[in-house]
Structure 1
Amino acid sequence: MIAAPLGLLLVMACGGGAAPAEQGTVEGSAASPEGGQSTVVDELSQKNLVQVAASSPDHKTLVAAVQHVKYEDVLVNAGPFTVYAPTDAAFAMLPEGTLDDLLRPENKATLENILEYHVAIGVFKPEAIRDGMSVGMANGDNVRFALADDGSVMINDAKVIATVPASNGLVCVIDKVLLPPS
């Protein structure tokens, strides 16, 4: 019988041992009652949507709003999702006091609606967008895309100024906060 010695030879030639155990770090493991998937630290894989936004110095307000309504665990799931991520400067253009009002407990549903209006199910790369295209967002309302004369993509009246791929979708950085019609 040749199969057994050949199998042994292959195991020995390939190292035969177990793979190295230390390839990433996990915080908030089963022993920790707090957190969820968003607490997993993985330095080896591509960043998910939440990690992309959290690592950006221009998205502190968006990250705080997402954390306020506890949407982090939703946005680290498989997706794919496209998140239209307003910059801190975009939030600063809202009328004075608006953000503070949205962060009040009694306005949580309104903030959730606004945040969900920034998330599309699926990946919508700017190069695949067509002028006049309409896309349904996570809150049930639609946005309309337009192509500007300079070739840039507009979503409603916000301009897509950058895109960052994520393991579970795409982050499209925008220069204005999208406000849902409802």
Structure 2
Amino acid sequence: MKEISKTLLWILSLAVLAGCGTSETQSQASAGGSAVQHVGQSGVKDDQSNPNVVQIAVSSKDHSTLVTALKVADYVDALTNVGPFTVFAPTNAAFDALPAGTLETLTKKENQRKLRDILEYHVLLGVYKPGDFVNGRKMGTADGRSVEVTVDGNGDVFINGGKIIGTVEASNGIIHVIDKVLVPN
């Protein structure tokens, strides 16, 4: 019985060592092939799981400007991670309502940090469903500031004046579609 256990342990050790060998990509790179390209969490392809907040935004024709801003600000990988996140997602029309030239200025390379700060102002850590929004509540954003909730007499919820017009659950949080871009003071 001891000999069988030793043999199984030896075979298992070989299997583990074989799994630690070089991958095809590593072999190609060392043999003069193309360099290894590292991608973040957003580069992982998974068509089986429920979509995350970024995948939902990408699939929405009403959020193409937001998706472009996330890419320019290098914020896609952060929102693709496990979370959980609550994301206030402005529509394309909300971005169009910004003063002329604002979006063009923010998407310049030299303004990447400022754009990211604005996008982080649209993110809460944790999942906040519609029933969690109470009139007058201040909620901390990912950039360290806070937004204020207003609930009107009709039960409509506003975040810093931006109306929540839809809600979509994601695998790593929840998205509240809003009709305004939230700009921190």
Give the shorter-chain TM-score range: 0.7 to 0.9
Q: Which of 97, 101, 111 is the equivalent residue of 1:97?
A: 101
Q: TM-score, normalised by structure 2?
A: 0.79
Bigger Cα displacement from structure 2, 101-110 vs 52-61: 101-110
Matched residue, 2:45: 41
Task: Give the corresponding residue for 2:19.
Answer: none
1:114 to 100, 115, 118: 118
Q: 1:164 to 1:30 in 2, by over 3 A?
A: farther
Distance in 2 of aligned mates of 1:79 and 1:178: 21
Q: What runs of 5+ residues in structure 1 fail to find an aligned partner?
A: 1-28
What is the Cα deviation at residue 34 of structure 1? 4.0
5 Å matches for 1:1-182? 31=25, 33-181=37-185
Question: Which amino acid is the alignment partner of residue 101 of structure 2?
Answer: G
| Identical counterparts, % of pairs | 50
Per-residue deviation, 1:35: 2.2
**Mapped contact 2:138–2:148 kept (Cα < 8 A):** yes
Shift of 1:125: 0.7
Question: C-alpha separation between the residues in 1 aligned to 2:166 and 2:24?
Answer: 37
Instruction: Judge which range, 158-167 or 146-155, deviates more.
Output: 146-155
Question: What residue in structure 1 maps to residue 8 of structure 2?
Answer: none
Structure 2 spans left out of the alignment, 5+ residues: 1-22, 26-35
- Structure with higher helix content: 2
Cα deviation per residue 1:26-62 (whole Å; 9 max; x = unaligned)? xxx9945142211222221110011010000000000
TM-score normalised by L of structure 1 = 0.81
> RMSD of the TM alignment (CA)?
1.5
Q: Displaced runs of 4+ in structure 1, greater than 2 A?
A: 29-32
Work out the number of aligned pairs and report it.
153
Instruction: Give 1 or 2 for the bigger CA radius of gyration.
Output: 2
